[in-house]
Amino acid sequence: MKQQINLTVNGDKYEVLVDPLTKLVDVLRDNLLITGTKKGCGEGECGACTVIMDGMPVSSCLILAVQADGKSIQTIEGLEDSEGKLDPIQESFINNGAIQCGYCSPGMIMVTKALLKISPHPTEAEIRDAISGNLCRCTGYQQIVDAVMAAAGKE
């Protein structure tokens, strides 16, 4: 039996009917057509589906949509401003070559957003720890660390 849930995604309110076992990533991508959040492993191992829920980064493939009822969700689409200008983190990822194939980028950027909110000037060790749950097959991580360091303080 489907349940109605209420979500606020990137500042917009939604009412959605979902099966109780539907994952948040599937509601975002399939129901709301917010596809920047990537669907990777489906087991919380790769970080591609990371979103910020009530201020904390979460793997949306591990969150049942019903668990997100009443929550505020921010996805990669919610980072640009009302004029379409990219967030400083997004610009830093571009400028530092931290985006190659781009599949991991939304999750990496969202975990960076959460990190810089609690630690505006993180050390390299703190950055590496924060992104450790996000897999990247292209960059070797140094460009990502450089991008986070460059974005620090610009938030």
User: What are the residue boundaries of the structural domains of the chain, listed by start?
Assistant: 3-77, 88-151
Q: What is the pTM of this model?
A: 0.94
Task: Compute the distance between CA of residue 153 and CA of residue 150 in angstroms, rounded to an integer.
Answer: 8
Instruction: Give the DSSP letter of residue 87.
Output: P
Considering only the top CATH level, what class is 88-151? mainly alpha
Residue 65 has a pLDDT of 98
pLDDT digits (tens, 9 = 90+) for 54-93: 999 999 999 999 999 999 999 999 999 989 999 999 999 9
Q: Are residues 58 and 37 in contact, defined by beta-carbon separation less than 8 angstroms? A: no
Q: What is the CATH number of domain 3-77?
A: 3.10.20.30
Q: Which amino acid is at 67?
A: Q
Parallel/antiparallel/unpaired status of strands 3-9 and 72-74: parallel
Percent of the chain beyond pLDDT 90? Answer: 92
17 closest CA partner among 2, 33, 1? 2
Domains 3-77 and 88-151 share a fold: no
Percent of the chain beyond pLDDT 70? Answer: 99
